[in-house]
Structures are given as structure tokens and as C-alpha cells.
Amino acid sequence: MTPVLIACSHGTSSPDGRAAISATVEKVRLLLPHVSVEEAFVDVQQPEIDDVVRAVSPRRAVVVPLLLSTGFHTKVDIARAVTDAGGRATATAALGPHPLLAELLATRLHEAGLSDGDAVVLAAAGSSDPAASVDVAGMADLLRKQLDAPVSVAFAAGAGIRIGDAVAQARATGARRVVAASYVLAPGHFADVISRGGADVVTAPLAPDDAVARIVAERYLAAVGVVAHAA
């Protein structure tokens, strides 16, 4: 029996954010028409990930985090739900870093008018988990290959340099303008923090672009191959 795909996002109180995530899940359903795709959340919204994993039992499930980086929610919330399933569920890596995200970020930046003399700040939500910073640094490396502009990294919360400080540093090095590449999936709290970070231009969040859905499907299909092999 084909494993259920559980698309697990953070959850948000923003109506626009909820719409963006739901639209992404619908795109995944179109890419995988023969797969049952369920939504779950780690905070704010219902149903919670633990409840969804239990609800699909005894079918196998693959949890794909609709999260851009490794962190508390992948290592604790999602990991707990998978462990409690007793071998009936597995979880994939977060969506980033990924070349498709780098291409999408570059497209967003060019649509925003990125030009010679501009500097880019890759603005992520942030986490207290050092693994998240490693993932964002990896994403910045991929983005640099797409651009002819300097790229620095900043965070809305957690460890690492804050967005306003990174914007100020870019200006101090002579940038004509500073463009914040919004490295969040959907509108909501962190997107709002990024928009107030002082950049001259701020790009839109990434969802519900087709590239995000393609990564979710890719993560699921790779995990299904491992599950089938193990079975």
C-alpha cells in the first residue's frame, strides 16, 4: 500500500500564510495524484502532527516537513511523532538547502529589480539550533552561484546576525541598494519581521510556487524508495 504523505508545516495565524501553505499542499496532490496527502502542523494550527500520524495508522506514512531548515520542529516534534508510530512512519529532511530553492530565490530577486551594485541579504526565520544556521549557510552558497551580487545571511530570530544589522553592514560596504531575499515559505510573523528589517526591497515568501511542491514530492518519492527497500 502506498504510504501516506503528511505535509507538516509550522502553522500560522496569518490567513495569507495559511492560504499559501494550503495551496502548496494542493500542488503536491496534483503532482502525486495517486498518493493520499494530509496536512499537519507543529504549532498554532490543527491537526497536530502526532494526531495525524496516529490517524493514518496502520498505513505507512512519510512526513515531509514544510520547513526550510533543520531545527527544533524537525528534531523534536516531527521526530517524536515518527518514533511513537513504532516503525510505521518516517520523516524526510527539511526542504532546504536545495538547488530549486536557489533558482526560485534568484527569480524573486530579479523580479524585484536586482541590479549591479546591489547587495543581497538572505533573510531566514532563524533557530536556536546550530543545524539551522548550517542549512541556511548552505542555501546562501547555492544562491551565490545564481547571482552576480554579494550575498550575506541574517535571521529574524534565534542565533546569528539580525536582519537590520546585516542590512547596515551591506550598506557600509558600499551597496547601492540592499535587497532582502525572504527565505520563509509563507506570509506571517517572520515574513513581517523581514519586511521591517530596513532593506530597500524585500522579496515575497516562497510558497506556493511550483518549485516548493516539486521538492516536497521529491523528498516523498525518495523516502518511499527507502521504505519499499526496507520492507
pLDDT at 225 over 90: no
Q: What is the pLDDT of residue 172?
A: 97
Same domain flag for 158 and 87: no
Same-domain pairing of 118 and 213? no
pLDDT-derived band at 217 (thresholds 50, 70, 90) equals very high
Reported in sequence order, the residue ranges of the chain that DSSP labels E, i.e. its strands, are 4-9, 37-41, 61-66, 89-91, 118-124, 151-155, 177-183, 201-202
108 and 194 part of one domain = yes
Query: Which residues constitute the domain of residue 189?
Result: 99-202
pLDDT of residue 231: 43
* Residues 125 and 164 both lie in one domain: yes
Q: What is the pLDDT of residue 226?
A: 60
Q: Which long-range contacts (CB under 8 A, 24 or more apart) does 56-61 make?
A: 56/4, 56/6, 57/85, 57/88, 58/88, 59/1, 59/3, 59/4, 59/88, 60/1, 60/3, 60/4, 60/88, 60/89, 60/90, 60/227, 61/3, 61/4, 61/5, 61/6, 61/85, 61/88, 61/89, 61/90
More confident residue, 158 or 211: 211
Tell whether 115 and 153 lie within a shared domain.
yes
Q: Are residues 78 and 134 in the same domain?
A: no
Average pLDDT over residues 65-85: 93
The pLDDT of 183-202, averaged and rounded, is 97
Which range (31-40, 70-79, 89-98, 209-218) has the least confidence? 70-79
Closest CA to 146 of 183, 110, 92: 110
Q: Mark whether 60 and 121 lie in a shared domain.
A: no
> 85 with 132, same domain?
no
Digit-coded pLDDT (tens) for 87-144: 899 999 999 999 999 999 999 999 999 999 999 999 999 988 888 999 999 999 999 9
- Is residue 230 pLDDT above 80, yes or no? no
Mean of all residue pLDDT scores within the chain: 94
Q: Residues 196-215: what's their mean pLDDT?
A: 97
Distance, CA of 100 to CA of 25 (rounded, Å): 17
Q: How many domains are there within the chain?
A: 2
What DSSP designation does 173 have? T
- CATH code at position 73: 3.40.50.1400
Distance CA 66, CA 40 (A): 10
Percent of the chain with pLDDT over 90: 89
